[in-house]
Structure 1
Amino acid sequence: MTIRFLIPALTLLFATPSLAQRTAEVGAVQFQNASQQSIAAQSLLPVDSDVKIGKLANGLTYYIRKNTEPSKRALLNLVVNVGSLMEDNNQLGLAHFTEHMAFNGTRDFPKNELINYLQQAGVKFGADVNASTSFNETIYKLPLPTDDLQVFEKSFSILANWAGLVTFDEDAIDRERGIILEEERSRGKNVAERVKQQALPLLLNDSHYAARLPIGTEQILKTFKPDVIKQFYKDWYRPNLQAVIAVGDFDPVQVEYLIKKNFSKLKNPKSERARVNYSIPPSLSTKVKVITDPEQTSTRFQMIVRHQGTPIKTAEDLRKSIARSLLNRMLGGRVAEWRQQENPPMLIGSIGYGNFLADIDAFTIAVTAKPGQLEQATKQILAINEQAIQFGFTETELQRAKTSLLNTIERQWKEKNKNNSSRYVNEYVAHFLKGTAIPGIDYEYNFIKQNLQYINIAELNALIVALNQTDNRIVIVEAPEKDKDLLPDEPMLLSWINTAGEGITPYQDNIVTTPLLRKIPLGGQVSLKKENPKTGVTELILTNGVKVILKPTPFKNDQIIINGYSYGGTSHAPDSIYSSASVAALFVNRSGIGDLSKGQLNKVLSGRSVNVSSAISEFTESVSGNSSPAELETAMQLIYLLFTQPRKDSIAWSSTISQHQASMANRALNPTQVFQDTVIAVLNNYNPRKTKNGLTDLRDASMDDAYQFYKDRFADASDFTFVLVGALDAAETIPLVEKYLGALPALHRKESYIDAGFRIPSGKIRKIIHKGIEDKSRVQLVYSGNYTYSAEANMQLEALKEVINYRILNRLRAQENGVYTPTVSVAYTNIPKAGYSITISFNCAPDNVRHLIDASIEEITNLKENGPTATELHKFKVAQQRMKEMQIESNVWWVYYLREQYMQRDVPDEELREIQLLDTVTIHSIQSAAKQYTGGENLIEFILMPESVD
């Protein structure tokens, strides 16, 4: 259960122009003359015929669509067109509180029966079933299986109970007060929240939004009377402000019947309150704010120009959105090119247009500067924008952007029968709340193909000028408090903006004609081929020793995922060059490949569905990437070049080192980063390799050492295993594998990783870190020890984790009301030596730290003494089976499953082995696991306390 409060200007997000993703009707609009253009431009876009939209007599809207990805699953949403903006002055925070109460008791599901029922059906609280509240809407999400008819039918009763039958038990209200205050502590008591609170008056222009932040006020949350929240629910949770969205693998006729059966009896109040649509009024000038905070680690500049947004409803709206997407792509390309210069003054930069909030859009320029280089970074990113204003774009830039956009929409079109139900649900939510059109992917694809040619340079040059208005503009600088005296004042900031265009010359688009690969290698052959009919896996051994695992799948039409690895990694780097080795792959990837710099490579690959990179971790060197089937040969060429022609670029080296230094400069100011650095150091027994790379500035790193180490790690492919999963055709794939992977160098070194002795320290350890100015603590409890690695043992650990999670969530949240979202995680490995860890983590009030730690340990002790309940065992088994059913329909899961199996030298025989292993999990086995894995002397307590607490 979350508060959704996103202002993309603060974290710039650019979406592709795709509205809906599918339709059965193919349509296109061509503007051929002025009269036709006027008529066609104003016509409403069609509605995808694959979705059924209806309305009940009480005004409730419903959307129903059959979709089989994932199979035997459905995603149901209850959308309430009400958020915090509808609160009265004595109800601040109660829209969000209402959302919480929907899970704390309804007419048909008293107290916590709803969560218990869903968990027994394999639906996880938080991870699956969830809800969110924003300014304008509240959304309840319920993913569930459709092959259990009783659960599926009852799910519509659950939605209806949320919609109009919440009971608001007074004891439950009082318990939930503490949980919501802990949510505010967990999410809000940090530097990001403090900075946001200073920026909001400008961003929201002192509008109604500024007075109705979804979290509300602590005073009201602590003291409101139950009748106040009941009145909010009575006023606003009504059918004519609600929609039910159902997408999944089901019978639409049955779903429509269930919606009518469960929702038709809900009634609107006799005296309805008006639902006001609030906006953010424009300002007539530029407003400036410089914000500092003692825990701020970076220095950022943002210039935000607000514009009135328009939902995409007509053909002209769609065409304009395409133009804006092209603009974003071209500006993004220029910023990326700028970042590749030698030692740029920035860490991150972006320019583009996107949604801001409500009905407002924004054109935003943002840059995170290196320490002491705010002026240079600001002036340079403003200059990129001004260069486009003064001189416009080039035809070659526009052509690349069009190719990229067309490639994006074509990929979506090819996957139209493989898209996840969540994509459709999101479209229908936007249609209900904002009226955004849902024409479907066929219409959009054909529309773009037909009309992309009519968007020209002149239009985009005019667009960039129009977006850069000087009124309704906000300028914000965020910086560490310690740098306050060095920051510009308002006149200086405005002078940087006003003089950004001085001395600018037109952009030169250096066209790349160099081929990716000058000479095709001779390649090798398959020397051994084995097929496993149980898993559908084909295993190839090439003449150079390279092993290739092929797994064709039907899950995506246009996706192939690639991962190749061998043992070795930085474990082979002597201490004298370890810092160089740790950044070797990052440096080489930033250098480009073969004859092409990184910028040139980006242009060569622009608009193509392919991406490949290399990596070096502690125990492995690897390559990973993805491509469409049409670009598989390009992916193979990139892999070949990463092995045989890695590039050494001094500019890339300088940039890598300077960016690392800049990112580490103020790290010690942030409590969370200090805490996590301490956790990592202690868990690795203060081994220098686990502290040095993260906490120093790489001053002793050498470009030559890094390059030579990279070359050594990729000099021998004979021990590499490559896993390819997706839309593979063996007859087409094997010749490409032979040609490129078969040509990789082979020294037959037969090496492995080196065990450097990193171990979690034994015994009982308590590490308290005093850092931070907020009344907030963080706790991590880590159990660890030696381990006998096996699939059976791994399954027992997973079961133990889930049962501990049930216990900790119930105890710390539901009973103690002391935390918001505790988490339990496990890790287990046999590389370099078998070991495990179980970690319990939570945020809380400093005064509650000891009590909640003791409560957690008490739950562990109880589990060891009495074992889990039959209900807990059932919840784990059904959730695990449901999760596995979902995973095995994913290319991503298969590529990493196969990689891990081969890495552990446990070649898979059957894909459903993990489900079969569920039979080994019993009440007794979980109790035994609890005794074995939490019963020893190894327990580390990490505690983050504010500086003010002794």
Structure 2
Amino acid sequence: MRFLSRALGAALPALIAIALPLPAIAQTAPAAAQPDAPIKPNLAPDSQKPWLYQGSDLPPHPDWTFGVLPNGLRYAVRRNGVPPGQVSIRVRIDAGSLMESEDQRGYAHLIEHLSFRGSEYAGDMESKRIWQRLGVTFGSDTNASTTFTQTVYQLDLPSANDASLDESMHILAGMMEAPDLDQKALDAERPVVLAEQREQPSAQVRFGDASRELFFAGQPLADRSPIGTIKSLQAATPASVQAFHDRWYRPDRTVIVISGDMDPALFVQMIKKHFAGWQGKGPDPKTPDFGKPDPNEPVSANIVEPAFPPVVGLAYVRPWTVGDDTIIFNQKRMIDMVAVRIVNRRLERRARSGGSYITANVSLDDVSRSANVTTVSVLPVGDDWQKALHDVRAVIADARTNPPSQAEIDREVNEILAVMKNAVATSAGEAGARQADNMVDAVDIHETLTTSETSLKILEGAVAKKFFTPANVLASSKKVFDGVAVRAIVNTPKPDPQAPAELAAALKEDVSGAAGARASARKVGWDDLPSLGKPGTVTARKAVMTDPDIEQVTFANGVNLLMFPNTSEAGKVYVRVRFGHGYNALPGDRVTPAWSGDIALAASGIGDLTQDDIDRLTGDRQIGMDFGIDNDAFEFSATTTAADLADQLRLIAAKLARPGWDPNPVKRARAVTLASYDSLSASPNGVIARDLRGLLRDGDPRWATPPRKAVADLTPQAFRDFWAPILASGPVEVQVFGDADKRSIIDAVAKSFGALKPRAANDNLDPAPVRFPDHDATPVVRYHGGKDDQAAAVIAWPTGGGVEQISQSRKLELLAAIFRDRLLDQLRSEAGASYTPQVVNEWPVGLPSGGDVLAVGLVPPAKTDLFFRLARGIAADLAANPVSQDELDRAIKPLKQLVIRMSTGNIFWMDQTKGGSTDPRRIAAIDTLPTDIVQTTPAEIQALAAKYLRPDKDWSMIVLPKDEAPE
């Protein structure tokens, strides 16, 4: 049952992502289920149930219509108006890389590419152009993915009508039944697939591949990456690819899912019209046996990636079994979820307090219909992975041996209840694309999909049955941390022949009793937050926009509120607090600890409360706090509800008024950054992420990655000295947009930010200038430590910034879109030299300058000159010749539709109006947004290209393998 995201973590460990602190819950007993409204099982015979629910007693989702065509094709359709006018279509083929033979490796993915390239109903690359004319953005609205078990084609059709839906379904039918698989298409697209394979981040891919080979040894999953092998792809012929297609692309292995803002009956009509005549070729193939975990395979492995942290991946592997997706099955699985969450919380608490590991995380998942796996990812502090693994295993051993307290259990159950209740409250605002994706996921893992209300009742039923007891959770802990095999892999920066044996011995080490005493949690309440003073008074109110109805409220202490009460996203309220001056307030001539804020500032506590205390205070509420730096402001943000809005604002206001300075988050931020430092040199993408933005700002340390020494030297006191004055000074703008009424918003802001003492204004701010580097005759060269067939090429042209010429920035978006389309065609579709060439326009409204048009391509080292030749050729042609109206329309219509869809959500309006309380020009500029896009002419595009894409102003960069570095 797809009742909650199953993501208790990634199924397979790769480079350890920095685990965010788990939200906590007040230690109160979970609410009992309503005895008069229990979940009613569906006891009808399977013949009377929709196809997704056969074998299950879960009530079918009432908003979905299910059906099966005579040829065996299944479908699920529903109406959804989020965003208005959009129809989201998914076509799922039950064929992935696990269906491939040895000489067919990569074929499922290859056919995905070929199907999009052309078919019987749309010629070479013609479907892309047709959909662009319908307002579809290539690569986001149209996409596809191939996994181990399925291939899914995606289309999000904006402003759909009968004609555009009919044409789109016609194209999709041709892609499934009769794609172009001839020699010409194969020769054109095979290099693109090989480029995609080449561009994968090498260290992460190798670690992921090595983990899969170990964890699933003896099963096809171990060595069946969907990307395939160079050997099999190069050997592919039209006949061999056609044979794979004919075998697996069949209507009886196809599911069509549609969720959109039209009549579901029309969806069914279109499915029947375009897919009912499709017939499979040959006998129906049997899905191969994916095998079971073999306990006789090796238990440990070592991989050497010098630019990768010494990360440990641990797996408890069990057979994957298909059981009935029933109410009781899901209620028992919820006990497993609670058991895993308790261990994760204990691990996180130890990491926060300065343990032997930076982060450790447990996840539980069914993997590719091959195994049920509990994975544990551990990122040590420094190189001592043995100590880190020992300490993590000790926590797990404790969970397997000793029952948790009822308070621990109640905390987790309450958190899950809070999440599910919020899902019920916000279900009306769930996007159709997400609903379609959830349905496809449910089909893939052989489960069902139910409503948020049903999910909540299932959990409440488990609470009422007293499933969540210490004894039951202990039993689940023993189960999820056991398996047919227990395996572990470690990455070491240097070759270590003893590492596999040491790791195998570590798995057998007796760690019982080594976890020590469990930490006791002190009781906290909202009264423990620092006092803010008397509520502020309103000194001014004015409407800054009438459509939509956005109002500005000014308080006596100088705080400005921008509010937009609306019900477009039911149950959600977005909060953004902008204070100070962001990058404009930072020095441009020296390195600062600004880099540490994203990791450590929110986690450093409030007053005397640590982050653990705040977790307990807010865990059963929709309250959070994220931090970021914008060009002209520092920002705290959160998504909350009307009921939690007042306390959400109070929490952030208290952070500004009396921040805490717990040293442990600073130490953790330092360790995290140092652990990931070398990985930035492991691939061209990593080097670009590390160096490009600083280079494009002429070495300005505000945007450059800090030197390793600056990271290592950061102390808690230096952290405090830097951030304390920033939190205490500068103007405050509060944005509250969403499902709350004006009166409650104003009252909540008055009692929080309106109650703050007046802040120092920083009127003497003198921002450091933002500089673009001088034109270079030869590219700047950087080197990476990844594969020797990987390189990157970058070219950029300076533009501008600020609000005065914002209309020009919008037209530059169209110029960039046209440039991107041409570069995609020439570099990818024609030359096959790059899978993901990009062209982007950045125009910082919060800076007086610093904008650019940037083109980047990941290419083989020998093709960097080709990239520059093509990019400069496109730039010169755009400056010399007007584009055709059709080419311009294929840029205008997707951008127009993107703006229309985004404008139905609150984040769009927050981004457009931010800073508007002190700079009204930003809000005034919103009125010209539609005309700036739709009224752009070919002559304007040409003039912009001539103005900005000048050969004497461009700056370029290449990233080459380190073995090409001069001696």
Q: Does 1:683 align with 2:696?
A: yes
One of 784, 790, 812 as aligned partner of 1:771 = 784
Cα distance in 1 for partners of 2:679, 2:275 equals 55
Q: Which amino acid aligns with 1:738?
A: A
Q: Does 1:450 align with 2:468?
A: no
Q: Which moved more, 1:886-895 or 1:440-449?
A: 440-449
How has the CA–CA distance of structure 1 residues 168 and 670 changed in structure 2, closer, same or farther, with 3 Å as cutoff? closer
- SS where residue 466 of structure 1 aligns? helix
TM-score, normalising length from structure 1?
0.91
One of 197, 211, 214 as aligned partner of 1:202 = 214
Q: Does 1:806 align with 2:821?
A: yes
Cα distance in 1 for partners of 2:597, 2:275 equals 60
Aligned to 1:608: 621
Aligned to 1:144: 157
In the TM superposition, 1:810-889 aligns within 5 A as 810-829=825-844, 831-889=846-904
Q: C-alpha deviations, 1:72-118, integer Å up to 9, x for none?
A: 11111111111222234432221111111112221121222211101
Q: Does 1:556 align with 2:569?
A: yes
**Superposition deviation, residue 282 in structure 1:** 3.4
Q: Does 1:942 align with 2:954?
A: no
One of 159, 164, 169 as aligned partner of 2:172 = 159
Q: Does 1:425 align with 2:436?
A: yes
Query: Does structure 2 retain, via aligned residues, the 8 Å contact 1:534–1:910?
Result: no
Q: Does 1:795 align with 2:798?
A: no
How has the CA–CA distance of structure 1 residues 69 and 869 changed in structure 2, closer, same or farther, with 3 Å as cutoff? same
Q: Does 1:634 align with 2:637?
A: no
Q: Which moved more, 1:285-294 or 1:358-367?
A: 285-294
How has the CA–CA distance of structure 1 residues 618 and 802 changed in structure 2, closer, same or farther, with 3 Å as cutoff? closer
How has the CA–CA distance of structure 1 residues 559 and 176 changed in structure 2, closer, same or farther, with 3 Å as cutoff? same
How has the CA–CA distance of structure 1 residues 207 and 658 changed in structure 2, closer, same or farther, with 3 Å as cutoff? closer
How has the CA–CA distance of structure 1 residues 325 and 312 changed in structure 2, closer, same or farther, with 3 Å as cutoff? farther
Q: Which amino acid aligns with 2:797?
A: Y
Aligned to 2:311: 299
Q: Which amino acid aligns with 1:931?
A: A
Query: Does structure 2 retain, via aligned residues, the 8 Å contact 1:105–1:169?
Result: no
Cα distance in 2 for partners of 1:627, 1:758 equals 36
Q: Does 1:730 align with 2:745?
A: no
Cα distance in 2 for partners of 1:7, 1:528 equals 50
Aligned to 1:9: 12
Q: C-alpha deviations, 1:447-476, integer Å up to 9, x for none?
A: 222322422221111110122226422111
**Superposition deviation, residue 702 in structure 1:** 4.5
- SS where residue 496 of structure 2 aligns? helix
**Superposition deviation, residue 66 in structure 1:** 0.8
One of 380, 395, 404 as aligned partner of 2:391 = 380
Q: C-alpha deviations, 1:681-722, integer Å up to 9, x for none?
A: 4223234555473543435544334324433223246x2111
- SS where residue 766 of structure 2 aligns? coil
In the TM superposition, 1:103-252 aligns within 5 A as 103-187=116-200, 190-252=202-264
Aligned to 1:3: none
Cα distance in 2 for partners of 1:592, 1:96 equals 47
Cα distance in 2 for partners of 1:583, 1:843 equals 30
In the TM superposition, 1:292-691 aligns within 5 A as 292-310=304-322, 313-342=325-354, 344-453=355-464, 454-455=466-467, 456-469=469-482, 471-480=484-493, 482=494, 484=496, 488-491=499-502, 493-495=504-506, 497-514=508-525, 515-517=527-529, 519=531, 521-531=533-543, 532-569=545-582, 572=585, 579-580=592-593, 583=596, 586-615=599-628, 619-664=632-677, 668=681, 672-691=685-704
How has the CA–CA distance of structure 1 residues 119 and 690 changed in structure 2, closer, same or farther, with 3 Å as cutoff? closer
One of 281, 285, 291 as aligned partner of 2:293 = 281
**Superposition deviation, residue 738 in structure 1:** 1.2
- SS where residue 521 of structure 1 aligns? coil
Cα distance in 2 for partners of 1:800, 1:477 equals 47
Cα distance in 2 for partners of 1:107, 1:180 equals 22
- RMSD between aligned alpha carbons? 2.8
**Superposition deviation, residue 530 in structure 1:** 0.8
- SS where residue 225 of structure 2 aligns? coil
Query: Does structure 2 retain, via aligned residues, the 8 Å contact 1:535–1:911?
Result: no
Aligned to 2:38: 28
- SS where residue 629 of structure 1 aligns? coil
Query: Does structure 1 retain, via aligned residues, the 8 Å contact 2:791–2:859?
Result: yes
Query: Does structure 2 retain, via aligned residues, the 8 Å contact 1:291–1:476?
Result: yes
Cα distance in 2 for partners of 1:47, 1:171 equals 47
Cα distance in 1 for partners of 2:634, 2:212 equals 46
Query: Does structure 2 retain, via aligned residues, the 8 Å contact 1:298–1:368?
Result: yes
Query: Does structure 2 retain, via aligned residues, the 8 Å contact 1:560–1:727?
Result: yes
How has the CA–CA distance of structure 1 residues 110 and 535 changed in structure 2, closer, same or farther, with 3 Å as cutoff? same
How has the CA–CA distance of structure 1 residues 138 and 580 changed in structure 2, closer, same or farther, with 3 Å as cutoff? closer
Q: Which moved more, 1:564-573 or 1:446-455?
A: 564-573
Query: Does structure 2 retain, via aligned residues, the 8 Å contact 1:248–1:421?
Result: yes
Q: C-alpha deviations, 1:788-841, integer Å up to 9, x for none?
A: 742211112111111101110111112212111111111112544224211111
Q: Which amino acid aligns with 1:525?
A: T
Q: Which moved more, 1:292-301 or 1:771-780?
A: 292-301
Aligned to 1:263: 275
How has the CA–CA distance of structure 1 residues 646 and 490 changed in structure 2, closer, same or farther, with 3 Å as cutoff? same
Q: Which moved more, 1:113-122 or 1:760-769?
A: 760-769
Aligned to 1:272: 284
Cα distance in 2 for partners of 1:851, 1:616 equals 37
Count of aligned pairs between the two proteins:
922
How has the CA–CA distance of structure 1 residues 376 and 753 changed in structure 2, closer, same or farther, with 3 Å as cutoff? farther
Cα distance in 1 for partners of 2:380, 2:363 equals 18
**Superposition deviation, residue 894 in structure 1:** 2.0
How has the CA–CA distance of structure 1 residues 175 and 526 changed in structure 2, closer, same or farther, with 3 Å as cutoff? same
Q: Which amino acid aligns with 2:774?
A: S
Query: Does structure 2 retain, via aligned residues, the 8 Å contact 1:300–1:478?
Result: yes
Q: Does 1:100 align with 2:103?
A: no
Query: Does structure 2 retain, via aligned residues, the 8 Å contact 1:581–1:705?
Result: no
Query: Does structure 1 retain, via aligned residues, the 8 Å contact 2:79–2:261?
Result: yes
How has the CA–CA distance of structure 1 residues 169 and 324 changed in structure 2, closer, same or farther, with 3 Å as cutoff? same
How has the CA–CA distance of structure 1 residues 682 and 153 changed in structure 2, closer, same or farther, with 3 Å as cutoff? same
One of 878, 895, 904 as aligned partner of 2:910 = 895
Aligned to 1:915: 930
Q: Which amino acid aligns with 1:47?
A: P
How has the CA–CA distance of structure 1 residues 728 and 130 changed in structure 2, closer, same or farther, with 3 Å as cutoff? same
Structure 1: stretches of 5+ with no match in the other structure: 1-5, 17-25, 32-40
Aligned to 2:33: none
Q: C-alpha deviations, 1:236-295, integer Å up to 9, x for none?
A: 211111111111111111111111111111112243333334234332576111111243
Query: Does structure 1 retain, via aligned residues, the 8 Å contact 2:12–2:211?
Result: no
Aligned to 1:925: 940
One of 82, 85, 88 as aligned partner of 1:69 = 82
- SS where residue 728 of structure 2 aligns? coil
Cα distance in 1 for partners of 2:321, 2:928 equals 52
Q: C-alpha deviations, 1:201-239, integer Å up to 9, x for none?
A: 222213223353322221222232211111111122111
How has the CA–CA distance of structure 1 residues 819 and 573 changed in structure 2, closer, same or farther, with 3 Å as cutoff? closer
Q: Which moved more, 1:689-698 or 1:806-815?
A: 689-698
